[in-house]
A and B are shown apart, each in its own frame.
Chain A
Amino acid sequence: MSAARTTPAEFWSRRSLNQRLALIIVPIAIVAALLTAAIVVLGGPPFLDFLGANLPLVRFFVAATAILMLTIPTAFVLIYLELKVIARMNLRVGPNRVGPWGAAMSVIHGLKVLSKEDFGPTGVDITVFTLAPVVTYLASVMTLLVIPFAPGLVGQDFNIGLLYFFAMGGLTVLGLLMAGWSSFNKYSLLGGLRSAAQIISYEIPLTLSVVGVIILASTKGSGTLSLNHIVLAQSGSAFDWFVFKQPLAALIFLIAATAEANRTPFDMTEADSEIVAGFATEYSGMRFGFFFFAEYVNVFIVSALAATIFFGGWTAPFNWPWPANLNAFHPLTFGLFGWLAIIVTVAVFGTYFFAFFVRIFGGRTWSTWSSVSLGLILNLVVIGGLVTLAGFIALDWVRGLIWFMAKTYAFVIIFVWMRATLPRIRVDQLMGFAWKWLLPASLLNLFVTATAVIILNR
């Protein structure tokens, strides 16, 4: 048997595993690369034309995707924040094992939830059971579409933005009802019914409380429900914020929003000590994960809306003194190699600059390598801070985003604080409070606001 007469089978059997893999993968990769190149060359220009001809549609899909992606890190940050802040308020340490100060805790939580078995108990209506978390999560996420994060940074600036927000926010209850019904469990059904009663009741004062704000915003020229215009109507200093003109409405809004987001002290739908987590009793794994995510996304959304409507959204709390213009640092000023040179110089010199100080003040305990790496980290932190500061001064959307996030997270902390402090209230007290106190108060607020606007505009 000579080498020239080897059959394909023999040739194949003599190859090692790596060679076999290479023999399979390389032709596939070559064909795939050629195909990709052909598709890009032939299909690229028409596709770009297609995108260009439908720019609003493309913008909508990009915004929707960005918002969907945004919710995941937001939920992780909020879960960690809640664990840590409640722990500090209870004089505990909180998560401190995974990552620096336990910061990777919620990511590990997410991975744990992902890796669990996809489990449905006997007797559940599996279609509805699976759809319920999706409905809850998407209803939360879709409301983010109209929140103005910064000037120009809004998913879709609807003319009826606020109405859209409440319409979508009201859909959360559907998911909870579906979950409660399909779980085939008395506690879950009770949780679902409670959520329906509670959210419908609190939606009314929630919606009525912002009507006063809409009236005030429409006196400043634009008679619209667009959240962007409501923010613009509050621009100026902190005293132009609607919270100072509508304090009662802001209070009603915060209380009703707590109930809408199912947070303590209004978390009757979960109430783990009475009806063992209500609608979520039978859920586990990623299905439960969606409910969990939706809850924290809801907290973020409610905080964002409170900041937008009553606390000026992305406007600064004082008249911003520097209409700065950093045209000198425009990317085209230095060219590619100029920027590369600047970055390398700054990185090298900055690193050695900080490493020098670490070596001087750290004494003998720091080796050369550790002082250099610490110097690199310090350098990166300082440069990151400087770049953010430059953006803060130069770009209005960076500035707006930072103010908006600061206000939103202040409200998130308030919600966490409430959870750590207040006990859950009873069901009948909950409904009585909504119908006997919040609804009359919001009607009174609306009446007084309308009267005042008519008298002052006369």
Chain B
Amino acid sequence: MPIGDSIPWTGIRWDDILFVALAAVLLVSAVLVVTLRDIIRCGLALIVSFASLAGIYALLGDPLVAAAQVLVYIGAISVLILFAIMMTQTKNAPTRLVFQTQTLFAGVAAAVIAGVITVTVLATTWPAVGSRLVTATSDVAHKLFGDYVLPFEVVSVLLTAAVVGAVYLARRESARSGEDRP
């Protein structure tokens, strides 16, 4: 989504400001997701990180994926997660221990992964890298229902299977044995 070029008398580009702000919000909220004690706040921080990711997608020139991110991730998956949190948590849950005993090793592993990825990315010269382009929605549609029609159908079957499986798993025991529900 092009929004002007740059601030006139400083030469700082709008896109850069937007990118830095969104990336900062994304990383801070992601860290909050994994460190906050109160799990409902973890869920809300997760929503903030999804929203900033949608912003980054729009910045990358993919408004369709950004809208899908908001629609699916925030509108459906986050709500589902909050729903599950509300069904499984009690108010005294945050006072208990939130981390495993292997937290230290987990931190080391995460730091190693971050370091390896960063070094790899910065050390590699990517071939055929041009400047940013904007995706046309109709092109995506033609690809999705042309070249990618088989994955599309497989995903739809997968979603159906997932819905059926979820309904089966989350059903009450009494209903599964055929009794009337209260």
* B 6-39 binary contact with A (CB < 8 Å = 1; else 0): 0111000010000000000000000000000010
Q: A159-B137, A189-B86 are in contact. Are A128 and B40 (CB under 8 A)?
A: yes
* B 78-96 binary contact with A (CB < 8 Å = 1; else 0): 1110110011000100000
Bound complex: CA A167 to CA B80 (Å): 16
Q: Assess whether A247 is interfacial by the CB under 8 Å rule.
A: no
Q: Assess whether B47 is interfacial by the CB under 8 Å rule.
A: yes
**Interface segment, A54-62, A232-240, A262-270, A401-409?**
A54-62
Q: Which of B68, B74, B75 lies at the interface centre, i.e. has the most chain A CB atoms within 10 A of its CB?
A: B75
Q: Assess whether A203 is interfacial by the CB under 8 Å rule.
A: yes
- Assess whether A177 is in contact with B71, with CB atoms less than 8 Å apart: no
- Assess whether B74 is in contact with A196, with CB atoms less than 8 Å apart: no
- Which residues of chain B from 19 to 71 have any CB-CB distance to chain A below 8 Å in the complex? 38, 40-41, 44, 47, 63-64, 67-68, 70-71
- Assess whether B4 is in contact with A53, with CB atoms less than 8 Å apart: yes
- Assess whether A174 is in contact with B74, with CB atoms less than 8 Å apart: yes
Interface of B is mostly: helix
Task: Among A50, A163, A168, A173, point to the contact of B79 (Cβ < 8 A).
Answer: A173
Q: How far is the CB of A37 from chain B (nearest CB, A)?
A: 22
B83 contact set on A, CB distance < 8 A: 177, 193, 196-197
Q: Which of A54, A125, A167 lies at the interface centre, i.e. has the most chain B CB atoms within 10 A of its CB?
A: A167
Q: A171-B70, A174-B47, A225-B137 are in contact. Are A193 and B8 (CB under 8 A)?
A: no
Q: Assess whether B110 is interfacial by the CB under 8 Å rule.
A: no
- Assess whether B44 is in contact with A178, with CB atoms less than 8 Å apart: yes
Tally of chain B residues near chain A (CB < 8 A): 33
Q: How far is the CB of A44 from chain B (nearest CB, A)?
A: 14
A55 contact set on B, CB distance < 8 A: 4
* Count of CB-CB pairs between chains A and B under 8 Å: 90
Bound complex: CA A56 to CA B15 (Å): 14
Bound complex: CA A125 to CA B38 (Å): 10
Q: A160-B63, A163-B67, A181-B86 are in contact. Are A57 and B4 (CB under 8 A)?
A: yes
Q: Assess whether B5 is interfacial by the CB under 8 Å rule.
A: yes
- Assess whether A163 is in contact with B91, with CB atoms less than 8 Å apart: no
Q: Assess whether B76 is interfacial by the CB under 8 Å rule.
A: yes
Nearest A residue (CB) for B138: A223
Bound complex: CA A298 to CA B16 (Å): 35
Q: Assess whether B119 is interfacial by the CB under 8 Å rule.
A: no
A159 contact set on B, CB distance < 8 A: 63, 137
- Which residues of chain A from 169 to 214 have any CB-CB distance to chain B below 8 Å in the complex? 170-171, 173-174, 177-178, 180-181, 184, 189, 192-193, 196-197, 200, 203
Q: Assess whether B3 is interfacial by the CB under 8 Å rule.
A: yes
- Assess whether A171 is in contact with B74, with CB atoms less than 8 Å apart: yes
Q: Assess whether A338 is interfacial by the CB under 8 Å rule.
A: no
- Assess whether A177 is in contact with B82, with CB atoms less than 8 Å apart: yes
Q: How far is the CB of A279 from chain B (nearest CB, A)?
A: 12
Bound complex: CA A223 to CA B70 (Å): 22
Q: How far is the CB of B160 from chain A (nearest CB, A)?
A: 13
Q: How far is the CB of B143 from chain A (nearest CB, A)?
A: 14
B137 contact set on A, CB distance < 8 A: 159-160, 224-225
Bound complex: CA A159 to CA B70 (Å): 16
A225 contact set on B, CB distance < 8 A: 137
Tally of chain A residues near chain B (CB < 8 A): 38
Q: How far is the CB of B166 from chain A (nearest CB, A)?
A: 13
Q: Assess whether A164 is interfacial by the CB under 8 Å rule.
A: yes
- Assess whether A46 is in contact with B86, with CB atoms less than 8 Å apart: no
* A 56-92 binary contact with B (CB < 8 Å = 1; else 0): 1100100000000000000000000000000000000
Q: How far is the CB of A209 from chain B (nearest CB, A)?
A: 16
Q: Which of B38, B68, B71, B86 lies at the interface centre, i.e. has the most chain A CB atoms within 10 A of its CB?
A: B71
- Assess whether B4 is in contact with A54, with CB atoms less than 8 Å apart: yes
Bound complex: CA A46 to CA B83 (Å): 51
Q: A53-B4, A53-B5, A166-B71 are in contact. Are A174 and B63 (CB under 8 A)?
A: no
Nearest B residue (CB) for A204: B76
- Which residues of chain A from 130 to 187 have any CB-CB distance to chain B below 8 Å in the complex? 158-160, 163-164, 166-168, 170-171, 173-174, 177-178, 180-181, 184
A-B contact pairs, 30 of them (CB 8 A): A53-B8, A54-B4, A56-B2, A56-B4, A125-B38, A128-B41, A128-B44, A158-B63, A160-B63, A163-B68, A163-B71, A167-B70, A170-B70, A170-B74, A171-B70, A171-B74, A174-B79, A174-B82, A177-B79, A177-B83, A177-B86, A178-B44, A180-B86, A181-B40, A181-B82, A196-B79, A200-B79, A223-B138, A224-B137, A225-B137
Binding site for A on B (CB under 8 A): 2-5, 7-9, 14, 38, 40-41, 44, 47, 63-64, 67-68, 70-71, 74-76, 78-80, 82-83, 86-87, 91, 137-138, 141
List 9 A-B pairs, minimum CB-CB distance, nearest first: A170-B75, A54-B4, A167-B70, A167-B71, A163-B67, A223-B138, A167-B67, A53-B8, A196-B83
19 more contacts with CB within 8 A, not counting A50-B8, A56-B3, A178-B44, are A46-B9, A53-B8, A57-B4, A160-B67, A163-B64, A163-B67, A167-B75, A168-B70, A171-B74, A174-B79, A177-B79, A180-B86, A192-B86, A193-B86, A196-B82, A200-B76, A223-B141, A224-B137, A224-B138
